[in-house]
Amino acid sequence: MKQSFFILRKITVAITFILFCSLAFIVLSSRASGGEPTILNHQFKVVLSGSMEPTFQTGSVIVIERANADREYKKNQIITFRSEDKLITHRIIDMKESNGQTLYVTKGDNNDAPDRGYVLTQNIVGSYSDFTVPYLGYAVNYASSKIGSALLLFIPGLLLVFSAVRSIFVSLKEVEVNTTG
């Protein structure tokens, strides 16, 4: 029983540590770069609305592959694009050619009607790469706030101090046992 509890505790600590480090990396690299963090031409995006449910739940984090100039997109592909200074992630439902340029008609899976206007290729930020983490977006949004960013730096530091103090007490007990035994 003790062995199972010990293993479970170690796994929980490791997962929490990995999540903290990942969250810190995402938030701090986006602050440092002034934009979105990019890893191997992929970006993390937080889903803020229910327009793509049930494909993406509100509060999920999705990974998109960044767009490049010569990339072609297909019907039913999910893209992230700029529209009036905000990012939208919707599915391509139709395409039209105009003056040698492809225009995309998009729609959220949970919306009744297509989006107003066409999406131009130069407005596409990237396409969905089939990787979603549900609910992590709530933590990312909180960590991006001023209080969340401060806690993201303060909590790991506090944990390091507690770990050091614990190690000192364990070492003192071992020395005490060795000198009395």
Please list the active-site residues: 49
Cite the DSSP H helix spans in the chain: 2-33, 136-144, 146-180
Residue 110 CB coordination number (10 Å): 13
Closest CA to 121 of 150, 99, 136: 99
Rounded to whole angstroms, the Cα distance separating 50 from 180 reads 65
In 3D, which of 122, 90, 121 has the Cα closest to residue 106?
Answer: 90
Neighbour-count burial of 95, counting CB atoms closer than 10 A to its CB (0-12 exposed, 13-18 middle, 19+ buried): middle
One-letter amino acid for residue 73 of the chain? Y
Cis ω for the linkage preceding 54 (within 30 of 0): yes
SS3 52: coil
As a whole number of angstroms, the distance between CA 32 and CA 46 comes to 18
